């Protein structure tokens, strides 16, 4: 064998050794990669340690707050029954009034003329009827003509009655004792039928009520007869007992709130005025059930809702549920809906969970 053949043989031997080493290295790496994947899978499926607690529902006694203005339940807007020219307005705003007191009048020139016309027409009808009765006896007029004369007389009697009635209501008198709240017109103005002229209220202090506007949720909590307390800026450092006397069945179209009326029941102030501002705390007799959870158990709170993690399979997995959120009280939050009595609520470890995560309960 010459030198060239020897060199070729050495080269081929070296290549075979290198290929063999490369093959062994590849086979040695694959088991290492498989071991790492298995370790990662085992880590991702490992239960997440959490702390849980089972809570019992508590009874909530909410306080509903609101504000409004004082008025009375006997306010009246007085008007003339007929239209015309205002002749007199005999009172001004704030004046005390007595039942039957004359408050305003219309110019009665036209009204008296209408009454006189009706009276003259009635007198003519009476003469026509007498003449028809005499002629009927002499067979000059027929029975139908006599009956028509009687009917005409009755019609004119009713017209006189209506004209006299309207004349009486060309003036406004007080329907009861009270005060003038507002005067809408002055002498010389022309008013139409039913146009507001004077607004009054009663003088009885027991008629005062506070009208308070509530939201939909608060309106649903209260009912007639629920107790309340009222404070008034005009009477500082005083608290007045009250009850809900009326609950509206329709929202105020201007504000969208639902009004309730509060009636003062005891310790009424000696003097009130329409439009005074008052604040109320209402204590609903209707109670609700809720759960008091640690604040850290609540996730993603937004207004009246949030989320918590619970376990409903004995502590094996976590379930994310939406809950209704009530009031906050220190380190606890009131949950009004979404939790069941047998739920295990996760109070620690929630930040590491997703819906369906495996968990292990730690002491």
Residue 270 pLDDT: 65
Please state, in angstroms and rounded to a whole number, the distance separating the CA atoms of residues 303 and 326: 9
CA dihedral 123, 124, 126, 128 (to 10 degrees): 170
Classify residue 304 by its DSSP letter: T
**Are the C-beta atoms of residues 300 and 351 closer than 8 Å to each other?**
no
Please state, in angstroms and rounded to a whole number, the distance separating the CA atoms of residues 314 and 246: 50
**Domain residue limits, the chain:** 48-59+288-361, 66-72+203-283, 113-165
Exposure b/e, 157-178, CB count within 10 A at least 16 = b: eebbeebeebbeebbbbbbeeb
Residue 53 pLDDT: 87
Q: What is the pLDDT of residues 129-149, one digit of tens each?
A: 999 988 888 888 888 998 999
**What CATH topology corresponds to 66-72+203-283?**
Elongation Factor Tu (Ef-tu); domain 3 (2.40.30)
Q: Between the CA of residue 17 and those of 20, 21, 25, 26, what are the distances in Å?
A: 5, 6, 13, 15
Residue stretches of the chain with pLDDT short of 50 = 1-43
As assigned by CATH, the class of the 48-59+288-361 domain is: mainly beta
Residue 151 pLDDT: 93
**Are the C-beta atoms of residues 267 and 63 closer than 8 Å to each other?**
no
**What percent of the residues of the chain are helix, what percent strand, and what percent coil, each to the nearest 5?**
30, 40, 30
**What CATH topology corresponds to 113-165?**
Helix Hairpins (1.10.287)
């Amino acid at each position: 064998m010459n030198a060239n053949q020897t060199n070729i043989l050495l080269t081929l031997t070296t290549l075979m050794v290198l290929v063999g080493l490369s093959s062994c290295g590849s086979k040695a790496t694959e088991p290492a990669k498989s071991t790492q994947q298995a370790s990662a899978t085992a880590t991702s499926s490992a239960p997440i340690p959490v702390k849980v607690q089972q809570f019992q529902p508590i009874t909530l006694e909410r306080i509903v707050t609101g504000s409004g203005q004082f008025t009375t339940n006997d306010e009246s807007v007085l008007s003339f029954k007929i239209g015309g020219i205002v002749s007199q307005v005999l009172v001004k705003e704030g004046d005390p009034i007595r039942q039957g007191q004359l408050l305003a009048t219309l110019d009665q020139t036209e009204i008296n003329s209408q009454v006189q016309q009706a009276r003259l027409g009635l007198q003519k009808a009476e003469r026509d009827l007498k003449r028809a009765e005499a002629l009927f006896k002499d067979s000059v007029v027929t029975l139908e003509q006599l009956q028509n004369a009687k009917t005409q007389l009755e019609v004119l009697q009713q017209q006189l009655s209506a004209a006299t009635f309207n004349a009486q209501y060309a003036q406004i008198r007080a329907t009861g004792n009270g005060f003038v709240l507002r005067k809408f017109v002055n002498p010389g103005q022309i008013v139409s039928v039913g146009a507001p002229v004077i607004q009054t209220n009663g003088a009885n202090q027991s008629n005062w009520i506070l009208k308070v506007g509530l939201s939909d949720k608060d309106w649903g909590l209260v009912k007639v007869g629920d107790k309340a307390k009222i404070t008034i800026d005009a009477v500082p450092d005083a608290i007045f007992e009250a009850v809900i006397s009326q609950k509206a069945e329709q929202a105020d179209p201007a504000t969208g709130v639902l009004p309730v009326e509060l009636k003062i029941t005891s310790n009424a102030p000696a003097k009130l005025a329409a439009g005074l501002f008052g604040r109320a705390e209402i204590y609903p007799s209707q109670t609700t059930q809720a759960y008091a959870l640690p604040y850290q158990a609540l996730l993603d709170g937004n207004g009246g809702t949030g989320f918590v993690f619970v376990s409903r399979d004995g502590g094996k997995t976590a379930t994310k549920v939406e809950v209704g959120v009530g009031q906050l009280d220190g380190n606890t939050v009131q949950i009004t809906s979404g939790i069941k009595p047998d739920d295990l609520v996760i109070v620690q470890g929630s930040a590491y969970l997703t819906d369906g995560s495996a968990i292990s309960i730690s002491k």
